[in-house]
Amino acid sequence: MDQDRRRLSEADRRLLDSLVRKRLGAPAAAPDSASSPGKPSADHSRWLDFTRLPGYAEQRMLRSAASAMGLRDPYFLLHEGDAGAVTVIDGRRMLNFSSYDYLGLNHHHEVRAAAKAAIDRYGVSASASRLVAGERPVHRALEKALAAHYGQEACLTFVGGHAANVSTIGALLGPRDLVVHDSLAHNSIVMGAHLSRAERRPFPHNDLGALDSMLESIRDQYERVLIVAEGLYSMDGDLCDLPGLIAIKERRQAWLMIDAAHDLGVLGRRGAGVFEHYGVEPRRVDIWMGTLSKTLSACGGYVAGAAPLVDYLKHSAGGFVYSVGMPPPVAAAALAALEIMHREPERVERLRANARAFAAACRRAGLDVGSSVSEAIVPVMTGDSVRAVALSQRLFERGINVQPIIAPAIPERQARLRFFLSSEHAPADLAATARAIADELAEVSGAAPSALVRRFGGA
């Protein structure tokens, strides 16, 4: 243990001690006077050093600590081909649970042919903003198809899903308005609220009683109110209560925006999404947002809703107005994938069967899958970040690629491995994976939950 700690530099050891104390709720150690900013000086050159950016030292220290413990960096792995239910990394064929290819459309011959044909006709790039340089027929065709899918009047596509949320929320709200969102909402939703300069208030995850009480107390203080939730939550694999949210938004006279990034192609008998799952008329939701990078195997985001909403965003959303348009081959691939999803609901059935079988196998093996409803996303809880990274590495050595989700992205005690299921996973592979997780977790659980503290001498 002391030998592991000595592998870190003195600065990293001090930073690690401080980090461990903070995560355990212990008082912070006294600051190092040598590194304190101290009295302002005329020389500001040190602030030009990129290594002084907030959080950079912690990132570097965590990588050093992991290396000292014999743990490899589980991120930015190099895939040598398409990464669906299986992938190739370092020349090894591996089971893959780290891609969003829910319906296996990334390698579908029609999707690839559509992209290739669009290149031949339109070129690779849209070359400029659609507002000033025009658009291609495939952009309009994709937006028309997505609007029809949600029963809405219009739709607008963005080059990124994150940009779609940030730009839409940022454009719709202002200082006299309020954004209320589920506490587990995606970073893009929070950033959009910040950009809008509206007041932002989270409500406890899926606690609609708290949401309604909040709005009952403060709704009259604001002009526009936007409620934002996700259809299928990507960290826990659980659902929003869509009928309950609609009832509250109608009672409190608010807009409702649903981020459907992970529920398209997953929820409902035909994969239409969370509205089909609950049997809700999709027009009762004011704003549907989604991404093209999950089920639709492309890249970008979209917003569907009333024609005036989309018309406004076309001229006001910074992520659309000031950005190059979506590449035509990407739009063509997404459109082809959407058509296949509608045509082949059996893919959704296979995905659902795989997800439920995998979650059931994990539970039989004594694994904690949290609050997952067994629809495409199944977390396996590990309890701390070191255990999550170690388990990921041991599974990788057995030919299973799955990434850990660790602090500070989530609270330390909620660290996990997150499994994305596909319609293309073989049932036998899913059963074998569940057994492998249980075997390897038993091995890594020999270490105390506070492994960082024990190994590196924290509080």
pLDDT the model gives residue 448: 44
Confidence band of 450 (pLDDT split at 50, 70, 90):
very low
Q: Could you tell me if residue 365 is inside a domain?
A: yes
Pick from 79-88, 330-339, 380-389 the range whose average pLDDT is largest. Answer: 330-339
Q: Could you tell me if residue 10 is inside a domain?
A: no
Among 380, 379, 404, 375, residue whose Cα is nearest residue 392: 404
Q: Which residues lie closer than 8 Å to 321 by C-beta, 6 or more apart?
A: 129, 131, 314, 315
Report the percentage of the chain scoring pLDDT > 90. Answer: 75
Residue 452 has pLDDT above 90, yes or no: no
Q: Could you tell me if residue 51 is inside a domain?
A: no
Residue 239 DSSP symbol: B
Give the tens place of pLDDT for each residue, 352-397.
Answer: 999 999 999 999 999 999 999 999 999 999 999 899 999 999 999 9
Confidence band of 59 (pLDDT split at 50, 70, 90):
confident
Residue 367: strand pairing partners: none
Residue 290: strand pairing partners: 302
The CATH number of the domain holding residue 115 is 3.40.640.10
For residue 66, CA distances in Å to 12, 74, 437 come to 12, 10, 21
pTM summary value = 0.87
Regarding whether 213 and 282 lie in a shared domain, the answer is yes
The distance of Cα 168 from the centroid of its chain, to the nearest Å, equals 18
Q: Could you tell me if residue 33 is inside a domain?
A: no
Regarding whether 266 and 221 lie in a shared domain, the answer is yes
Regarding whether 351 and 254 lie in a shared domain, the answer is no
pLDDT the model gives residue 81: 86
Q: Which of 15-19, 20-24, 235-239, 267-271 has the lowest mean pLDDT?
A: 20-24
Regarding whether 262 and 228 lie in a shared domain, the answer is yes
Instruction: Write out the E strands in 238-340.
Output: 255-259, 287-291, 301-305
Q: Which of 17-21, 75-79, 114-118, 134-138 has the lowest mean pLDDT?
A: 17-21
pLDDT the model gives residue 22: 61
Indicate the residue among 343, 367, 382 that finishes a domain. 343
Regarding whether 353 and 325 lie in a shared domain, the answer is no
pLDDT the model gives residue 16: 61
pLDDT the model gives residue 17: 64
Confidence band of 120 (pLDDT split at 50, 70, 90):
very high
Ramachandran angles phi, psi of 232, nearest 5°: -125, 120
Q: Which residues lie closer than 8 Å to 150 by C-beta, 6 or more apart?
A: 275, 282, 285, 288, 304
Indicate the residue among 277, 310, 343 that finishes a domain. 343
Confidence band of 449 (pLDDT split at 50, 70, 90):
very low
Regarding whether 371 and 301 lie in a shared domain, the answer is no
Among 311, 321, 286, 299, residue whose Cα is nearest residue 167: 321
Number of neighbouring beta carbons within 10 Å of residue 45: 7
Residue 3 has pLDDT above 80, yes or no: no
Give the tens place of pLDDT for each residue, 197-230.
Answer: 999 999 999 999 999 999 999 999 999 999 999 9
Residue 57 has pLDDT above 90, yes or no: no
Q: Could you tell me if residue 168 is inside a domain?
A: yes
- The residue-averaged pLDDT of 329-357 equals 98
Q: Could you tell me if residue 189 is inside a domain?
A: yes
**Which contacts qualify for 206-210: CB closer than 8 Å, 24 or more apart?**
206/182, 206/238, 206/240, 206/241, 208/241, 208/244, 208/245, 208/248
Give the tens place of pLDDT for each residue, 140-197.
Answer: 999 999 999 999 999 999 999 999 999 999 999 999 999 999 999 999 999 999 999 9
Determine the Cα angle at 315 with ends 310 and 321, to 5°. Answer: 110
Regarding whether 401 and 272 lie in a shared domain, the answer is no
Residue 332 has pLDDT above 50, yes or no: yes
Q: Could you tell me if residue 78 is inside a domain?
A: no
pLDDT the model gives residue 174: 98
Residue 320 has pLDDT above 80, yes or no: yes
Higher pLDDT, 380 or 444: 380
For residue 292, CA distances in Å to 146, 285, 317, 318, 338 come to 10, 20, 19, 19, 9
Distance CA 219, CA 246 (A): 16
Regarding whether 370 and 287 lie in a shared domain, the answer is no
Per-chain mean pLDDT for the chain: 90
Q: Could you tell me if residue 67 is inside a domain?
A: no
Indicate the residue among 312, 343, 374 that finishes a domain. 343
Regarding whether 366 and 230 lie in a shared domain, the answer is no
- The residue-averaged pLDDT of 40-61 equals 81
Regarding whether 352 and 331 lie in a shared domain, the answer is no
Residue 418: strand pairing partners: 379
- The residue-averaged pLDDT of 272-281 equals 98
The distance of Cα 205 from the centroid of its chain, to the nearest Å, equals 16
Residue 66 has pLDDT above 90, yes or no: no
The CATH number of the domain holding residue 392 is 3.90.1150.10
For residue 89, CA distances in Å to 81, 351, 402, 434 come to 9, 24, 12, 21
Give the tens place of pLDDT for each residue, 160-172.
Answer: 999 999 999 999 9
Regarding whether 382 and 446 lie in a shared domain, the answer is yes
Range of the domain at 288: 109-343
Q: How many domains does the chain fold into?
A: 2
Confidence band of 76 (pLDDT split at 50, 70, 90):
confident
Regarding whether 285 and 392 lie in a shared domain, the answer is no
